[in-house]
Amino acid sequence: MGVRISINYTGRVQGVGFRWRVSQIAKSFSCTGYVKNLMDGSVELLVEGKKEEAYRMVESVNIQMKEFWHNKTVDERAGDAHFSKFTIKY
């Protein structure tokens, strides 16, 4: 069984290429899920995969995108993947 990590990033995260850059970061990891803009101006990231790999991806996003986000909330749950790849949701 893997892990599903849901993160909501707030800050200057929309209109700056945040989703595209996260999708490029995801290509380096064996994770599935999505990144999408929310109506409140935040961005939701859902990462699924083996725990160590998923946390490595999240850490990479946190570091590479740190200039844009100011706060984040994280929810982790055990579970199998629901997605077959990583995508940008619109």
| Structural domain boundaries, residue 16 | 3-89
DSSP conformation letters of 6-49:
EEEEEES-SSSSHHHHHHHHHTTSS-EEEEEE-TTS-EEEEEEE
Q: What is the pLDDT of residues 16-64, one digit of tens each?
A: 999 999 999 999 999 999 999 999 999 999 999 999 999 999 999 999 9
CATH of the domain at 45: 3.30.70.100
Q: What is the pLDDT of residues 63-78, one digit of tens each?
A: 999 999 999 999 999 9
Active site residues: 19, 37
For the whole model, what pTM was predicted? 0.95
Q: What is the pLDDT of residues 7-29, one digit of tens each?
A: 999 999 999 999 999 999 999 99
Q: How many structural domains comprise the chain?
A: 1
3-state secondary structure of 51: helix
